[in-house]
Amino acid sequence: MLFGVPQFIDMEDKIVGPLTAKQLGWLAIAGVIALVLYATLDMTAFIIACIPDFIFAAALAFYKPFGQPLPDLISNMFSFTLKPKVYIWKKVVENSTYKPEISKRSSRVENKLLSKNSLSQKNISEISDLLDITKK
């Protein structure tokens, strides 16, 4: 029995024509605001007030900066601004007494590498024997 693998699962469903539910919701909110403005303002003030209302609603519905919807970008901006920051990295003081320990094995490998400019098969096998962890 064969089952079809869903394709394009990150695409939102279209509700009305080419509009998704979120886009339709933002435009409906702008329409409700325009209705309230129409009931409270005279015609010239209504037209002047509706222009930014519909521009903002269209930006929220259709504009996708950096590949993500504008409401998500605004939400991320506010959450970054308001949440406390967690700093994990701490600077090490330069005058510390810590010195890395160099093992005898690594110093022998460095000496072998520095002593020869070109590596022969014998030198490679000696270095591999020095680096082999299982041999003691």
Q: What is the pLDDT of residue 34?
A: 97
Q: Which residues of the chain have pLDDT under 50?
A: none
Reduced to 3 states, what is the DSSP secondary structure of residue 15?
Answer: strand
Q: What is the pLDDT of residue 30?
A: 97
For helices 104-115 and 121-131, angle between their N-to-C axes, nearest 10 degrees: 170
* pTM metric for this prediction: 0.55
65: Cβ contacts below 8 Å, ≥ 6 apart = 73
What Å distances lie between residue 123 and 17, 58, 101, 107, 130, CA to CA?
73, 71, 25, 15, 11
Q: What is the pLDDT of residue 87?
A: 80
Q: What is the pLDDT of residue 28?
A: 96
Cβ(112)–Cβ(123) below 8 Å = yes
Separation of alpha carbons 48 and 40, rounded Å:
13
Structure tokens at 88: 């994990």
Separation of alpha carbons 58 and 115, rounded Å:
71
Q: What is the pLDDT of residue 17?
A: 85
DSSP annotation of 124 reads: H
Comparing C-alpha atoms, which of 1, 6, 10 is closest to residue 68?
10
